[in-house]
């Protein structure tokens, strides 16, 4: 299950920054180095982690390597999130009902606890 590598890849703030950079457009390593303010080796290592997690893909262009986002793992995250999103909607719903029927449900005490 590469689910683990996906989460741990995104757990690092620098890597989330890289991912955000690649959301705008594909970029060669040098550009990422400059934008992140990290050293080149460190950036390359982060890129390797992202590659191993399947989050980015590389295209060789002469001496440069152009990195781009791969949307698939993002979709996996989205799928993971789905059941929780339902919970979120339920609680929004409940809030709406409470606001709506403030004096209609004697079982659920209002904010006077």
List residues near a copy of itself by CB under 8 A: 4, 7-8, 10-11, 13, 16, 19, 23, 69, 71, 74-75, 77-78, 81, 83-85, 87-88, 91
Of 64 and 85, the one with the shorter C-beta distance to a copy of itself is 85
Of 40 and 88, CB closest to a copy of itself: 88
8-state DSSP, 12: S
Nearest to 18 by CA among 44, 113, 71: 44
SS3 (DSSP) at 105: coil
Residue 22: CB atoms within 10 A of its CB come to 21
| Minimum CB distance to DNA smaller for 21 or for 98 | 21
Residues 6+ apart with CB under 8 A from 76: 3, 6
Interface positions, 30-89, toward DNA (CB under 7 A): 30, 33, 38-49, 58, 60, 62-66
């Amino acid at each position: 299950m590469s689910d683990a590598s996906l989460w741990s890849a995104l757990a690092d703030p620098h890597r989330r920054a890289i991912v955000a950079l690649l959301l705008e457009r594909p970029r060669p390593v040098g550009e990422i180095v400059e934008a992140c303010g990290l050293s080149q080796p460190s950036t390359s290592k982060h890129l390797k982690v992202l590659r191993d997690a399947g989050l980015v893909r590389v295209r060789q262009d002469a001496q440069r390597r152009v990195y781009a986002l791969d949307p698939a793992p993002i979709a996996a995250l989205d799928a993971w999130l789905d059941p929780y999103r339902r919970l979120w909607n339920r609680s929004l719903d409940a809030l709406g009902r409470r606001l709506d029927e403030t004096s209609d449900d004697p079982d659920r005490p209002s904010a006077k606890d």
